[in-house]
A and B are shown apart, each in its own frame.
Chain A
Amino acid sequence: MLFLLAAVASLTLTASPPPFGNAHHPVTREVSPSTPVQREVPAGDFLLVAYGFYRTVVTPIDGPRCSHRPTCSAYAREAISRYGVVGFWLAYDRLLRDAHSSSVRQLPVALRQGRIVFLDPLEESTFWFP
């Protein structure tokens, strides 16, 4: 009997949660957030290969040095995939910048994996685009 109960309990907890949640997956939001939009570079793109090389070969050797989030490489990849040539300019501009959004305002900071990082999403620089 106990074995049966344990089996039922484990089955209940491992099953995918119903829309109204369960003990293992409690509902914490009234409405689930919408699926994030994927903005992937088309497979086989040279820039995707370059980004993959940088991420899997250079970064492990070089270490996590970027103090911005998203990291400069991820930022460049997203900028170029979304804005083409202008993405190169955005990436270059990001590389020149430090902890400031402008001379009158600092970028917001966050603690990620024990490090203080500056939050600088792409929208921070593209808000004025038509």
Chain B
Amino acid sequence: MLLALVLAGTPEAEQQLGFARSLDGDGDYYRAIGEYKRFLYLYPDSPLADEARLAIGRAYVHGEQPDAAEAHFLSLAELSPEWQARALLETGWARYSAGRSQAAIFSLQSFLRQYGARDAADADRARYLLGWALLTEDKSEAAVGAFAAVASLPEKGQLTEAAKNWRSLPRKSPLLAGLLSVVPGAGHLYIGEPLVGLAALGWNGLFSFALYESIRRDQVGVAVLLGALELIWYTGTIFGAVSGAQKYNRDVRLQALDGLRTRFNDRPETWPPSPTSR
């Protein structure tokens, strides 16, 4: 009688996992992880257990806990050789999704080197993710190669073309910006910030004039103080122009990436990529 009551209170495996999926779909990732773990505790040998294991790692990523996701995938790699391959691919996906493109490139290249010939769909997903990670890191030529190597993708041509055109995006030379800033403000004018350049010119002009006047009047103490300050402003203006050029280059590429991401699913969880996946 007691056993019957206990069994009656145990949720069915499918229902249990369905509840976890539902929480996951609602964006309640932390409770979803708990429910996936409960499922694995109750039904460790279920055919659906692998799905729950994978979903835990993905929910960590969606819940913005990439470190926990990586640790989870690392623990899955110890389960079997199949999981070793899967965990490496998912780690690459997790790293890219968390904005760690450089680390993602490392994982995905490792995956392709070790398991690239094992499963065509997984290899294509890895190459696709690798292309996006390389593009994020401004390595457009390598990205062209990665996208071109994807075997089954209708949008391959568009993505390869976008990666090929990456080099033609506007770019400002940090070196030239720094050199032009020998005349305060000219470097900022070059990077498209005329108002900042004008402010830098005025500020440096004001301190230079005050320094000149203090030297002319033999006010050594004031001259030393003004000279020290002007040195900071002057070198700071050069630094600001170099930094501004770096920001300009990054922002132009970020905008281009955002434009591509609105058209394509850049972090697919399945293959081929679905426009509706998260």
Chain A interface residues (CB < 8 Å from chain B): 27-31, 86, 88-90, 92-93, 96-98, 100-105, 124-125, 127-128
* Closest chain A CB from B259 CB (angstroms): 12
Answer whether A89 and B236 are a contact pair too, CB < 8 Å, given A30-B34, A103-B192. Answer: yes
Q: Is B52 an interface residue (CB 8 A)?
A: no
Is there an interface contact between A104 and B251, defined as CB atoms closer than 8 Å?
A: yes
Answer whether A96 and B240 are a contact pair too, CB < 8 Å, given A30-B30, A101-B251, A103-B193. Answer: yes
Is there an interface contact between B232 and A89, defined as CB atoms closer than 8 Å?
A: yes
Which B residues lie within 8 Å of A28 (CB)? 30
Q: In the complex, what residue of chain B is closest to A31 when comparing beta carbons?
A: B68
- Given contact pairs A30-B63, A96-B240, a sample of 9 additional A-B residue pairs in the complex whose CB atoms are under 8 Å apart: A30-B34, A31-B68, A89-B236, A89-B239, A92-B236, A93-B236, A97-B196, A104-B251, A128-B250
Q: In the complex, what residue of chain B is closest to A125 when comparing beta carbons?
A: B243
Is there an interface contact between B200 and A96, defined as CB atoms closer than 8 Å?
A: yes
Q: Is B254 an interface residue (CB 8 A)?
A: yes
The tally of CB-CB contacts under 8 A between chains A and B is 74
Q: Is B49 an interface residue (CB 8 A)?
A: no
Q: Is B158 an interface residue (CB 8 A)?
A: no
What is the bound-complex CA distance between A86 and B236, given in angstroms? Answer: 8
Interface size class of B (residues with CB under 8 A): 20 to 34
Could you list 14 examples of A-B contacts with CB < 8 Å? Answer: A30-B30, A30-B33, A30-B60, A31-B68, A89-B240, A92-B236, A92-B240, A93-B243, A96-B200, A96-B203, A102-B248, A104-B248, A127-B250, A128-B250
Main secondary structure of the interface of B (DSSP, over half): helix
Which B residues lie within 8 Å of A103 (CB)? 191-193, 248
Which 10 pairs, one residue from A and one from B, show the smallest C-beta to C-beta distance? A103-B192, A92-B236, A93-B240, A89-B239, A105-B251, A89-B236, A128-B246, A102-B247, A102-B248, A30-B30
Chain B interface residues (CB < 8 Å from chain A): 29-30, 33-34, 60, 63, 65, 68, 191-193, 195-196, 199-200, 203, 232-233, 235-237, 239-240, 243-244, 246-248, 250-252, 254-255
Which B residues lie within 8 Å of A31 (CB)? 65, 68
Q: In the complex, what residue of chain B is closest to A105 when comparing beta carbons?
A: B251
What is the bound-complex CA distance between A92 and B254, given in angstroms? Answer: 26
What is the bound-complex CA distance between A101 and B49, given in angstroms? Answer: 47
Which residue of the partner chain, among A92, A97, A100, contacts B233 with CB atoms under 8 Å? A92
Main secondary structure of the interface of A (DSSP, over half): mixed
Answer whether A96 and B247 are a contact pair too, CB < 8 Å, given A89-B239, A104-B255, A105-B254. Answer: no
Answer whether A93 and B246 are a contact pair too, CB < 8 Å, given A100-B193, A102-B191, A105-B255. Answer: no
What is the bound-complex CA distance between A98 and B194, given in angstroms? Answer: 12
Which A residues lie within 8 Å of B195 (CB)? 98
Which residue of the partner chain, among A27, A30, A104, contacts B68 with CB atoms under 8 Å? A30
Which A residues lie within 8 Å of B243 (CB)? 90, 93, 125, 128
What is the bound-complex CA distance between A128 and B137, given in angstroms? Answer: 12
* Closest chain B CB from A32 CB (angstroms): 10
Which residue of the partner chain, among B29, B63, B200, B232, contacts A88 with CB atoms under 8 Å? B232
Which residue of the partner chain, among A29, A89, A128, contacts B235 with CB atoms under 8 Å? A89
* Closest chain B CB from A104 CB (angstroms): 5
Which A residues lie within 8 Å of B33 (CB)? 30
What is the bound-complex CA distance between A92 and B63, given in angstroms? Answer: 37
Which B residues lie within 8 Å of A89 (CB)? 232, 235-236, 239-240
What is the bound-complex CA distance between A31 and B69, given in angstroms? Answer: 11
What is the bound-complex CA distance between A92 and B65, given in angstroms? Answer: 35
* Closest chain B CB from A84 CB (angstroms): 12
Which A residues lie within 8 Å of B193 (CB)? 100, 102-103
Q: In the complex, what residue of chain A is closest to B250 when comparing beta carbons?
A: A127
Which A residues lie within 8 Å of B250 (CB)? 102, 127-128
